[in-house]
Structure 1
Amino acid sequence: MQIGVDARLMYHQPAGISRYTWHLLHALAKLNQRDTFTIFQHRKHRTPLISQPNFRRATLFAPVHTRLEQFMLPLELLLHPLDLLHSPDFIPPLHAAVPTVITVHDLAFLHWPHFLTKDSAAYYGQIDRAVRRARHIIVPSESTRQDLIAQLGVPHNKVSVIYEAADARFVPLPQETTRQEVCRKFGLPPTYVLFVGTIEPRKNVNGLLHAFRYLLDKYGLRDVGLAIAGGKGWLYEETLATIETLNLQKQTFLLGRVSDDDLHKLYVGARCHVHAAHYEGFGLPPLEAMACGTPTIVSNVSSLPEVVGDAALLVHPKNWEEIAVALHRLLTDDDLHAELRAKGLQRARCFSWEIAARKTLEVYQQALTSPSSLPAAGRTPASSRPANRL
């Protein structure tokens, strides 16, 4: 097969879809030395993403997420003989002759359209044509698959669930020395709760702040900090205002984007991790936390229960008291903490990029040879029981 993968977004955005693309490409390279892969990179992204004989770097000049993209991309692709093109960033070239596979990571833009910029609305507004144009669609969870079918009317057999995985670097470390190191570096108290993600309404950071205030007031836990590791997103200023309104300036630590090494240590040093988002297509931070041996609390909505299985506490994202109670349990109950640590480590091992790459190769092959016989979904990882409820 001659497979093309559109990796232009990686020059602009280091997280999210770019991480998915990076991990998938490296896993594909380990598995496949037979087929030819053309990795399309931004013209300024000169270093090849993969150094392997059957992987070659190619430059595309079409700008990402602009009006010109759909005019330039099909023309540029004519210079590259491909059997199939994988577009990991939702929207394929809509007028190109080459068959396409796309990855739809979530439908947040349909659930939260009022948070889109004009340019983003124009880009994601192509999703109806994208799902019709694509030969097959990869999604990261059964929740997202059902969302795609319900929201866009996509046929069941056109969508395959292929789970993502945590980076292999996220493993347990010596807990006490790691905690001391990371607390010194970031000025954190010895006991802290960790949130990881972009600060935007969908992630429910403001709700978490209200829950944290409730925790401090009801249980009198004055020596606990809330560490927030993530970049500034939509309505970031509202989060700053909420911190001031709730008088949480001394207990809240806005760390911004941190390096992978620091993020690893922050996970290990945290007493617990919390991800009470309103919606997620997959939810990688809880999986990363579990892989590091850190118990996690997640929302009982969208894909998050599917990811954590029975290895986390579930809460309603709009119920601040419920989130606070879950936090209190993990901060004070050592037996529960140890139980969820063990379950989380086991759960995290159910996900792997090697498995993701194998299933992706199957989709490529079947998309070309027998499009109508593609699997409807991937198998849910071991233990599909619901997570622990309060």
Structure 2
Amino acid sequence: MQMRVGIDISAIQYNRGVSRYTSNLVRALYEHKHDVALKLFGASFRQRAVLQTFAKKTCPTALSRILPHPARIMDIVWNQFHVFSPERLLGKMDVFHSWEVQPPLQHAALVSTIHDLAMLRFPKTTDPTVLAMNERSWKYLKKEAKAVIAVSEVTKKDIIELLQIDPSKVFVVHEALTEESQQKVSVERKKELLAFFGLIKPYFLFVGTIEPRKNLKRLIQAWQPMKKEYDLVIAGAAGWENITQEDGLRIVGTVTNEELVALYAGAELLAYPSLYEGFGLPILDAFYHGIPVVTSNVSSMPELAGDAAVLVNPHEVESITIGLKRALEKKSYFTEKGKQRLQQFSWEKAAKQTIEVYRKASDAHRN
């Protein structure tokens, strides 16, 4: 029986990991028209057109309603006052799949995805306003959600431990390689982009926001013995950690999908010794682009990488250095293992598992 499913696509506007999760999941769900009839909801003041274009191009037959309101307004309307159900705009639904703000629902079952709880694990590096909004969201979820999707076993454990949500309501659905990561870039164009960034020497690549939990300061220390032969490239948004510039350290900032593809293709390896991740999409990106991965033996990284990456102790600089050297020495081995590991993740699989969560949530709501 086909379910009527509303889904909040507001996250797409932010060009972050959660954005790619949302866009790729929606694409995959839309292919299951015999199982679900999608209805798209979104809200943005500055990026409303982005959401409208995505809805029209990706799900042309789906009903969509995109409001001209910023996240701050939706937090007030939904998280604080619990008014204005999306059912007024989208009609009858069996399930509504939310993200950062939680709507009041009259008839539909509430399902939400939590990507990580870094805000609670690292509260000192979190914007108090953003933390407060999420705490309101989590409080409502604990009371009203019929199901919560975690993108890893580690995130599921955190949800149960830190939010005290009933374990029977928490389901793990892994993410997969995103469509954005598979953009085709010609050899000549890659050369142009690498030249644009001034990359002449071989280099290690880090991808992510510059913030303390990404462990960049230890990574930079671990790279020091190798900096004569290799540069270190940091690609990602400026966050709330200051990194001192030095010779060989290339901080390229936020990059386009095309630029990121070129950076992966030209790198010797991905250096990703993060202290905490809900999932870790750059690991799958590196597997796809055929470069070895050095990542942490904590949090979700071992769950995602398996034996296809060099796992290091992220708290020990020497361990990271040894890992970088080992990845270079056994580059072909880890490249092949990465390609094999990548096959275990797909958005088709994620869509089927998500639909099963919808069914369980809908059944629980009716009963």
* TM-score (normalised: structure 2): 0.88
- Match of residue 210 from structure 2: 199
Letter in 1 for 2:76: L
- Match of residue 299 from structure 2: 302
The answer as to 2:30 corresponding to 1:24 is no
Q: Quick one: distance in 1 between partners of 2:183 and 2:7?
A: 33
- Which deviations, in whole Å up to 9, do the C-alpha atoms of 1:152-179 show, x marking residues without a partner? 2222221111000112464698998787
Residue aligned with 1:125, SS:
helix
Report the CA distance shift for 1:364/1:174 in structure 2 as closer, same or farther (over 3 A). closer
Aligned-pair distance for 1:329?
2.4
1:224 to 220, 230, 234: 230
Q: Quick one: distance in 2 between partners of 1:56 and 1:95?
A: 18
Aligned-pair distance for 1:365?
1.6
2:30/2:36 contact within 8 Å kept: no
Residues 45-84 of structure 1 correspond to what in structure 2 (within 5 A)? 45=49, 46-51=52-57, 52=59, 54-66=61-73, 67-70=75-78, 74-79=83-88, 80-81=90-91, 82-84=93-95
2:153 to 142, 156, 161: 142
Q: Quick one: distance in 1 between partners of 2:184 and 2:202?
A: 17
- Match of residue 119 from structure 1: 129
Aligned-pair distance for 1:256?
0.9
Residue aligned with 2:357, SS:
helix
Aligned Cα root-mean-square deviation (Å): 2.6
Aligned-pair distance for 1:264?
1.3
Report the CA distance shift for 1:175/1:289 in structure 2 as closer, same or farther (over 3 A). farther
Aligned-pair distance for 1:190?
3.2
- Match of residue 4 from structure 2: 2
Aligned-pair distance for 1:50?
4.5
Letter in 1 for 2:349: I
Q: Quick one: distance in 1 between partners of 2:60 and 2:188?
A: 42
Aligned-pair distance for 1:275?
0.7
Residue aligned with 2:325, SS:
helix
2:219 to 200, 208, 215: 208
Number of residue pairs matched by the alignment: 354
1:65/1:119 contact within 8 Å kept: no
2:38/2:62 contact within 8 Å kept: yes
The answer as to 2:357 corresponding to 1:348 is no
Residue aligned with 2:299, SS:
coil
2:141 to 99, 119, 130: 130
- Which deviations, in whole Å up to 9, do the C-alpha atoms of 1:292-322 show, x marking residues without a partner? 1110011111100000000001111111111
Residue aligned with 1:273, SS:
strand
The answer as to 2:98 corresponding to 1:98 is no
The answer as to 2:294 corresponding to 1:272 is no
Higher mean C-alpha deviation, range 292-301 or range 79-88? 79-88
Q: Quick one: distance in 1 between partners of 2:117 and 2:108?
A: 25
Q: Quick one: distance in 2 between partners of 1:272 and 1:172?
A: 19
The answer as to 2:239 corresponding to 1:250 is no
- Which deviations, in whole Å up to 9, do the C-alpha atoms of 1:55-89 show, x marking residues without a partner? 12112355314552325773152413222110133
Report the CA distance shift for 1:191/1:178 in structure 2 as closer, same or farther (over 3 A). farther
1:83/1:99 contact within 8 Å kept: yes
The answer as to 2:256 corresponding to 1:259 is yes
Letter in 1 for 2:312: V
Q: Quick one: distance in 1 between partners of 2:179 and 2:8?
A: 24
Residue aligned with 1:58, SS:
strand
Residue aligned with 1:274, SS:
strand
Query: Could you list the runs of 5+ residues in structure 2 that have no partner in the other structure?
Result: none
1:28/1:357 contact within 8 Å kept: yes
- Which deviations, in whole Å up to 9, do the C-alpha atoms of 1:101-132 show, x marking residues without a partner? 00011111111111222311211212133233
1:368 to 354, 362, 365: 362
Higher mean C-alpha deviation, range 306-315 or range 162-171? 162-171
Higher mean C-alpha deviation, range 2-11 or range 223-232? 2-11
- Match of residue 99 from structure 2: 88
2:77/2:84 contact within 8 Å kept: no
- Which deviations, in whole Å up to 9, do the C-alpha atoms of 1:146-204 show, x marking residues without a partner? 12122222222211110001124646989987874543231113310000001111111
Aligned-pair distance for 1:340?
0.2
Q: Quick one: distance in 1 between partners of 2:196 and 2:82?
A: 45
Report the CA distance shift for 1:145/1:309 in structure 2 as closer, same or farther (over 3 A). same
Query: Could you list the runs of 5+ residues in structure 1 that have no partner in the other structure?
Result: 244-248, 374-390
Q: Quick one: distance in 2 between partners of 1:8 and 1:168?
A: 18
Q: Quick one: distance in 2 between partners of 1:69 and 1:140?
A: 27
Q: Quick one: distance in 1 between partners of 2:77 and 2:148?
A: 21
Q: Quick one: distance in 1 between partners of 2:200 and 2:327?
A: 17
Using the aligned pairs only, state the percent identity: 33
Report the CA distance shift for 1:169/1:18 in structure 2 as closer, same or farther (over 3 A). closer
2:183/2:257 contact within 8 Å kept: no
- Which deviations, in whole Å up to 9, do the C-alpha atoms of 1:214-263 show, x marking residues without a partner? x23xxxx513100111011112xx213xx4xxxxx220111111111221
* TM-score (normalised: structure 1): 0.83
